[in-house]
Amino acid sequence: KKGFDIIKEKPLDYSYLNAKKLEDISIKYNKKIFTLCQRIYDPIFSEFIRKINLIGKPYALQYDYFLSHNKTVGWRSKKELACGGVLLDMGYHIIDTINSFFGEIIETNSYSAFSNEETKKEILEDYTTISFKNRREVIGTINIGRNFHKKKEYITVFCDQGVAEISPKKGFSIYNNNGQEVYKLEVHVKNEEVTRNQIQDFLNIINFKDEYSYRKHLNRHLLNVETIDKIYSKQQINFINSI
């Protein structure tokens, strides 16, 4: 409202209703709201999409993303500040990746659990598993947790002529149905490079008044928030008495 374009951390917002209000403000005041979300700016993914035709059409995928926190503390353990658990925090990256590269998620079912009394009391899930189907008839599962022994992010894509394994910012391998590796990429992508790529993209949109690209960016994040809203609306919470 004060006349600034905004570059902010993900998520666009914690609810679809609020995200639509931000969209209205952006249009009314003719100012841009950009949301930092790294995965689609990772060259690993863009190269993978170019090579996936080596093994045909995807029909299923599994996305695992874990952090090595021993206990959820700080802002992540307070509902008022976090507004959601691992799905909103870590899962936003996953939803963005799947919606952008593999097709919009349209059907979901999810189960969530808690690793300590603080997050249990605040109803902020520390672990969630989600099953889904998207518009391209790809089915899959998503597993997100904060209390693993190390940080791990790993995607397995099943195609009709083979399978691929992806590690964001590290590389991917593609295998045919005979188990032979038909393509491999190993590279270390720095966080700074990915961040620079997306900020430069945002600056280009502002400087060249590229309304088409901005609308595409905003719609992408509106879809992410809407998808997460739908998943939370069907979330089944698993309270473990022995915690």
Identify the residue with better confidence: 239 or 228: 228
Nearest CA among 59, 73, 52, 235 for reference residue 144: 235
Amino acid residing at 97: T
Distance of alpha carbon 21 from alpha carbon 111, whole angstroms? 29
Q: What is the mean pLDDT of the chain?
A: 94
Length of the chain counted residue by residue: 243
pTM score, whole prediction: 0.95
With cut-offs at 50, 70 and 90, classify the pLDDT of residue 241: low
**Does the structure show a pLDDT above 60 at 229?**
yes
pLDDT at 238 (0 to 100):
79
Cα separation of the two ends of the chain = 46
With cut-offs at 50, 70 and 90, classify the pLDDT of residue 43: very high
pLDDT at 137 (0 to 100):
96
